[in-house]
Structures are given as structure tokens and as C-alpha cells.
Amino acid sequence: MSDDKGIIRPIFVGVVTTVLTAVILYYLGIQKDSSSTHEKIPKPTSELEEKILGIWYADIQETIPNGTANIQGTTEYLRNGTSNLTAEISLRMHTPEGEEFEIIYNMLESYEWKLHEHRLVEKGVDMKTIPKYFKTRSEQIDLRRIDPAKREQFPKLEDVIPKGMSNESEIIEIGADIMRVKSRDHLGNEKIIVYYKRDKPFVLE
């Protein structure tokens, strides 16, 4: 584990720019309509609402501008129409100069959710991200152990993502222990996300 001496380097400006640009482009992209011509699953909304309640785990890999994102964690859907995401997100990217790096965050996010037949619409209400690790080819820094003033220099995702953004997905399968959801990435490509029922929320390090 490296100390924090290597943070204040020319790479840092590129890191901040790269992360913020990628996040903005990604979140704007997923606002595209995810409508589909596939046949609707034959379940009334009321039954789906009961089935979706509870805690669901997923491990999702996404392609984002200049890299990839991995999100693993749980979403808890509550009967009052709200949900809570508890997750770890890892951004593996490269700066315009070709420097490779990774930033790992803890993420807490709340939503309002509604079902329209088989379509799940989720609207972001609040988000909090905590930068946890910063990695390059030569060093790994625990950002929770460095000077708070330096830690504050790392981008927080909630600072660039407008509140109230919504995304829509389609529930194509749901059972007691598994749920499959179809949505689209920021480029408009269709993707399937698989969720597994859990008894407890994801535990953050």
C-alpha cells in the first residue's frame, strides 16, 4: 500500500476530467427510452409489486466512456414506493494521455419506483459516494487514510449527476429468488441484468 505522496501528480487533473466526463455522458445516455416490442409478461401490476419487494443483489459490468464500471450491491424495494441501493462501484479508466487508473467508491442511493405493467421506472432522489481506493499501475492508495483535504479533491459522483434523473427497464422474468431485467446502456444497446434475492443488504467495507 502506497502513501499519498503520489496523488499530487500531473495524472490527477486527467483523472478528474476523465471520471467526471464519463459519468456525465453515461447518465445522460441511459435516459434514452428503453422501450421494447417484446411480449409483455402475463402478470398484473399488483402481483409484480408484491414480487419485487425485498432485497435484490446484482453484479453489473458496464462499458463507459474511456473505460469500464463494475457495480456490485443490493437494492431494497420497499412497499412505500421507495428503494435503497447499497453498492461498491469500481471505475477502471484511462486519461487522454493514456494513464490507466481505477477508483473504487462506496455508493448509497435512494430512489422512487413505480411499475407500469411490466415496466419499472426508477427516479433518483439522493446519492452519496465515498472515494475508497485509488489505483494506478504502480501504487494503491487507501483514500480513507489520507489527509481529508486531499481526499476532497477526488470527484464525488453526486456532484455531477443531476437529482431526479429517471431510468426505465423491463422486467422479463421474476420468481422467488431471481429477477431478470432488460434495459439499455448509454449507447442504446440492449442489456440483461440478473438480480438474486437476498436476506440482508450488501455490506460496505
For the residues of 116-127, what is the DSSP string, one character each? ETTEEEEEEEEE
Please write the tens of the pLDDT for every residue from 53-106: 999 999 999 887 778 889 999 999 999 999 999 999 998 888 777 888 898 999
**Are residues 24 and 164 in contact, defined by beta-carbon separation less than 8 angstroms?**
no
- Looking at residue 188, its pLDDT comes to 77
Instruction: Check residues 32 and 66 and name the one with the higher pLDDT.
Output: 66
Predicted model pTM: 0.81
Q: Which domains, and CATH codes, for the chain?
A: 10-198 (2.40.128)
Question: Cβ of 194: how many Cβ atoms within 10 Å?
Answer: 14
Please write the tens of the pLDDT for every residue from 107-131: 999 999 999 888 999 999 999 999 8
- Looking at residue 197, its pLDDT comes to 97
> Residue 13: which pLDDT band, with cuts at 50, 70 and 90?
very low
Cα four-point dihedral sign 139, 145, 150, 153:
positive
Taking 80 as the threshold, does the pLDDT of residue 187 lie above it?
no
- Looking at residue 42, its pLDDT comes to 39
- Looking at residue 38, its pLDDT comes to 37
Instruction: Check residues 163 and 33 and name the one with the higher pLDDT.
Output: 163
Cα angle for residues 55, 130, 202 (degrees, 5° grid): 20
Closest CA relative to residue 44, chosen from 36, 54, 52, 33: 52
Taking 50 as the threshold, does the pLDDT of residue 148 lie above it?
yes
Cα four-point dihedral sign 37, 78, 72, 51:
negative
Instruction: Check residues 187 and 205 and name the one with the higher pLDDT.
Output: 205
Mean of the pLDDT values across residues 156-174? 85
